[in-house]
Amino acid sequence: MFNDSYIWGRLFIPLIMIFVLGLMVFFHRRQVFKYLYIVNIFLYLVAIITYFILENHPVGQPFPYPWMTVIPFVWAISIFLAFGLSFASLSAFVIEQAQRHIWARIIIGLVVLAIMIAIAIGIYYFIEIIRVIGYF
């Protein structure tokens, strides 16, 4: 299992996010967002459990039960939903905390700056691609 080259994205990052979301459940004041965080934790747990099942299954062998053929789809859906909800959860938490704390405002400013830099880099590479296409 630890020989998997994608173990960071499939196991360690979800475990870290479960810990972070648990802290967010503890510190957040709004009840609705706590349910969002708990659903996100559940999705990460489903993704980790299905990852272990897929890793322990021999390659090329059929699943022992017909219902187990859905496990790869459950893993893919749960991990992508969990990553998307994590983005929404972290954003909601930081925006909520920015109303009372200066550290959250600083994080929002840094994220806006990073987005502006990413857009500038994207425009630069887009122009370079247009130049290369223009030479053909």
Q: What is the pLDDT of residues 3-53, one digit of tens each?
A: 677 788 788 889 999 999 999 998 887 788 889 999 999 999 999 999 998
- For residue 66, the SS3 value is helix
pTM above 0.85, yes or no: no
* pLDDT classification of 135: cutoffs 50, 70, 90: low
Q: What is the DSSP string of 42-107?
A: HHHHHHHHHHHHHHHSPTTPPPSSGGGGGHHHHHHHHHHHHHHHHHHHHHHHHHHHHTT-HHHHHH
CB-based burial label for 40 (10 Å; 0-12, 13-18, 19+): buried
Instruction: Give the Cα separation of 48 and 39 in Å (integer).
Output: 14
Tokens 């709004």 found at: 30
